Structure 1
Amino acid sequence: TLPYALLSAEREIPEEKIPLFYTAMLLCLAGLLGITQTGDIFNVFVFLEISSLSSYALISLGNKRQALTAAYQYLIMGTIGATFYLIGVGLIYSQTGSLNMQDVATILPGVLHLKTVETGFVFIVIGIALKLAMFPMHLWLPNAYTYAPSVVTVFLAATATKVAVYVMLRTLFTVFPQGFAVTTPADELFIVAGISGIIIASVYAIYQKNIKRLLAYSSVAQVGYMMLGIGFASATGVTAALVHLFNHALMKGSLFMAIGAIIYRVGACRMDQIHGLGRAMPWTFGAIVLGGLSLIGVPGTAGFISKWYLVVAALEQQAWISVAVILSGSLLAVVYVGKLIEALYFKPMTDTGNAVAEAPLMLLVPTWVLVFANIYFGLDTTLTVGVAEQAASILGVSPP
């Protein structure tokens, strides 16, 4: 994203704040990488806060006043989530005497009957759910994605919520004993939250006038697919969640990059301000079309693979409602992606006062790298599915 960031930041972030942007972005990346590397549940909290605090700063750099409101809203909800997580860690520590994930996993089976442990589990899960924007704890995400600079939206959409999903998986399947979530209402709650998120967020996306907000609600729906896979608590379900985690980073990264290219040229991303721009910016429009097809789950794209595995996981458990919801989510995606394509290509061109040129190569090349990745991983699933199956095995999820 560095070539993309150079131009996007130059256009959307005040010059005097650009050093702050790069500092905060690298700090956020360091925090996210730390989360994936640590084996200590308290260090997860530390790295979560490092990445979150820098995310608040990144969002506030947007050139509209609402960016500060969005950053503040994210700050409030993120702090609540972090506090919940920390309380849960404290309760677990009080009964295990350790913060090391492996030690905690060894000690917990002997103390699972204690209410303190169950309460700690609830606090940790709710805290992480706030961080990953699980429905209905997603309220910070639409504004954050809408008013942040485009490069920040790309970065957060492709990484931040995905790392939080990873933390949820490690908590459910490594820190706590295999099957503990299944013996509690947690797995049913994940399925209910996933189903609700897929349908409600997709419907909200259809009625949005701002393209970035449309894609933000779409992201909430896609998190719902991941929660559905986790809620199935099966090898196929977790594999589907992991594959969708990776594929969604590709598809939403490419879409937000393409929208950022439009903003770079016309300085707007409302539906009524982009009419006909697809004809003036064919490469950008092509990226949006292919990214949108992957979001829908058309065969031959990465989005189809993860949704296919989700349907298989649902069929294994005879969860017919979940199957219907997955298919309905794709149909709703057809509507909001179609609405975007109609505005960009089929509506009469908006009068911008100047001829609109195609986006610069420094924006197009990174965008199309992700677009081609969407196609490649939709045709060759050896890497994505293979790694996801191996990860599900390491997490200890038993095959059906």
Structure 2
Amino acid sequence: MIEANLPVLLIVIPMITAPLCVLAGRGRIAYAMSLLASVLVFAIAVALVIKVGDSGTIRYELGGWEPPYGIEYVVDRLSSFMAMFVSALGMIVLFYAPHSVNKEIQPSKHYLFYATYLLCMTGLLGICVTGDLFNVFVFLEISSLSSYALISLGRTRRAPLSALQYLIVGSIGATFILIGIGLLYQMTGTLNMADIASRIDTIDGPRTIMVAFAFLTVGLCVKMAVFPLHTWLPGAYTYAPSVVTCFIAATATKVSVYAFIRLVYGIMTPKFAFELLPLDSALMVFSLIGIFVASTAAVFQDDVKRLLAYSSVAQIGYMLLGVSMSNIDGLTAGIVHMFNHALIKGGLFMVAGCFILRLGSSRLSDWAGAGRTMPWTGFAWAIGGLGLIGVPMTAGFISKWLLLTAAMQNGWWPVAALMLLSSLLAVAYVWKVVETLYFSEPSDAVVASTEAPAGMLIPTYAIIGCVVLFGIWTTYSAGLAAAAAAELLGATP
């Protein structure tokens, strides 16, 4: 009975636990409840990955109502992979959370933080497994509204302002998405994604299809923080509490990329998006510009969280390059990079949170010499930074190598050359932090600092260790991504 209901339990457990955290009204009880819920959700996600691998796609009809009249959850190779790493990161960040939460969030709001965190996780996981297009919008807004609230919990005045900016831009993106969904419903009379794909005529259909696709694409690009629609992201990542940034940076934009993949490959088809429309060329241009502009901006940042935020904008460009190639190799590279970047960026923001806990600042100038007083934390930054650059034997190398070879197979030699050149910018901003940590004269505050607590270092190294693990053991992550890409394109893995 439980096994048959795993897809809905993935959503129901965090959704029900969130209001229970509010009813508890105490931070410690709320933390214990949220941690237990996240562990259960991760176990369910792993079970779904195994079940999908053994028996194929799982379809779950809510309330016994068959689609298209009822809402259907669909768990295939890609959605199970996404749910697994979103839930894993959500769980590990919660293990990391207590020290950071105590430092950066007012005690009276701790229980609200854990409740909102679970709601954000609910929304992200819901996007991964739902087969209903309007449900995608609902879950997207659940995660977005939760993110606005989480970001506003920062202690500085800039936190609510950044949350407000994110809310305004995010609401515009959500409106575009809702208009696109409404137009598709008008033409097909259904909201089930598989049913829409079977009814819609992308070749000889009305121009309204193109308009709907345009609205959905722009709306999702806002949520993905694609250049030049990324303006909300640097402030949101910089002024949010560190534990919030760790989770959102590792998951939120990746899930939006996943939703875009579903739109292009599951509903509209690559032929419509990339052959009848020049979306592949547009994505390539904006991705490459975003990679160079955002990476250059990162080089000149003194705030490390803002540096990593601009780096995230650049990495989204790599993912979309893979998605736009419309073949198994390119799509595999894009999906693998979603997973690898989630590990790398989540780990680096956790490292930043360790430094912020001890030094009370995210400004690089205040971290001078901290690599000598906080050696374990500094070493974790070095490993994560190597992954971000794409050095061999790290996860970042695997996805960039797959993307590079896919670009060359497509004949995109200039794109491949620009990708290699852009990695030099990553070297510049990663080395900038390493140089400050190890070769600058420490201030009195840095000299007096001690290593981050084990409760933060152990989860941080769990993530950073995975950056190395999946850089060496590539068959699992790359294999799951390749199988998911083949399934999306209707080929055999």
Tell me whether 1:359 sits opposite 2:445 in the alignment.
no
Shift of 1:350: 1.8
The separation in 1 between residues aligned to 2:176 and 2:486, in whole angstroms, is: 29
- Residue of structure 1 aligned with 2:313, choices 220, 231, 241: 220
Map 1:327-366; keep pairs closer than 5 Å: 327-352=420-445, 355-366=448-459
The answer as to whether partners of 2:373 and 2:446 remain within 8 angstroms in 1 is no
Deviations 1:149-173 (A, max 9, x none): 0000000011101100100000000
Question: How far does residue 112 in structure 1 lie from its aligned partner after superposition?
Answer: 4.9
In the alignment, which residue of structure 2 is the partner of 1:239?
332
- Secondary structure class of the residue paired with 1:359: coil
Tell me which of the two structures has the higher relative contact order, counting C-alpha pairs closer than 8 angstroms and 6 or more residues apart: 1
Q: 1:62 to 1:397 in 2, by over 3 A?
A: farther
AA of the residue aligned to 2:468: I
Quick check: 1:233–1:397 contact (8 Å CA) kept in 2? no
Q: Distance in 2 between matches of 1:338 and 1:375?
A: 19
What's the TM-score, normalizing by structure 2? Answer: 0.80
Match of residue 44, structure 1, among 136, 141, 157: 136
Return the letter of the residue paired with 2:225. Answer: A
1:15 aligns with 2:107: yes
State the distance in 2 between where 1:177 and 1:349 align. 56
Name the SS of the counterpart of 1:39 in structure 2.
coil
Whole-Å separation in 1 of the counterparts to 2:474 and 2:296: 30
Give 5+ residue unaligned stretches, structure 1.
Answer: none
Matched residue, 1:283: 376
Report how many residues are paired: 399
Shift in Å, 1:331:
0.7
Q: Is the 8 A contact 1:189 1:231 kept in 2?
A: no
Q: Please state how far the C-alpha of 1:354 moved relative to its aligned partner.
A: 6.4
Name which of 61, 65, 71 aligns with 2:157: 65
**Residues 1:140 and 2:232 are matched in the alignment:** yes
Letter in 1 for 2:410: Q
Structure 2 counterpart of 1:72, which letter? L
Give the drift of 1:3. Answer: 2.2
CA contact under 8 A between 1:3 and 1:362: conserved in structure 2? yes
Mean Cα deviation higher: 158-167 or 350-359:
350-359
- Cα deviation for residue 345 of structure 1 reads 0.9
| Cα distance in 2, alignment partners of residues 200 and 235 from structure 1 | 28
Q: In the alignment, is residue 90 of structure 1 matched against residue 182 of structure 2?
A: yes
187-196 or 287-296, larger mean C-alpha shift: 187-196
CA distance in structure 2 between the aligned counterparts of 1:255 and 1:47, rounded to whole angstroms: 27
CA distance in 1, matches of 2:248, 2:202: 39
Where does residue 123 of structure 2 map in the other structure?
A: 31
What CA distance in whole angstroms lies between the structure 2 residues aligned with 1:353 and 1:228? 41
Q: Percent identity?
A: 52
Retained in 1: the 8 A contact 2:137–2:174?
yes
Number of the residue aligned with 2:241 = 149
Report the counterpart of residue 107 of structure 1 in structure 2: 199
Aligned to 1:127, which of 205, 219, 222?
219
SS in 1 for 2:131: coil
Residues 194-218 of structure 1: CA distance to partner in whole angstroms, max 9, x if unpaired?
Answer: 1011111000000001000000000
Q: CA deviation at 1:111?
A: 6.8
Q: Secondary structure at the match of 1:200?
A: helix
1:178 positional shift: 3.8
Q: Summarize the alignment of residues 279-318 of structure 1 with structure 2, pairs less than 5 Å apart.
A: 279-318=372-411
Mapped to 2, the partners of 1:72 and 1:114 lie a distance apart of 38
Q: Do 1:275 and 1:343's aligned partners in 2 also have CA atoms closer than 8 Å? A: yes
1:274 to 347, 355, 367: 367
Offset at 1:6?
A: 1.1
Native 8 Å contact 1:198 1:325 kept in 2: no
Q: CA deviation at 1:398?
A: 6.0
Residue identity matched to 1:379 = I
Measure how far apart 1:187 and its partner are. Answer: 1.2
With the length of structure 1 as denominator, give the TM-score of the two structures. 0.98
Shift, 1:259, TM fit: 0.5
- 2:247 corresponds to 1:193: no
Q: Distance in 2 between matches of 1:5 and 1:109?
A: 48
Deviation at 1:274, TM superposition (A): 0.7
Structure 2: which amino acid aligns with 1:82? A
Q: Is the 8 A contact 1:206 1:335 kept in 2?
A: yes
Cross-structure match for 2:210: 118
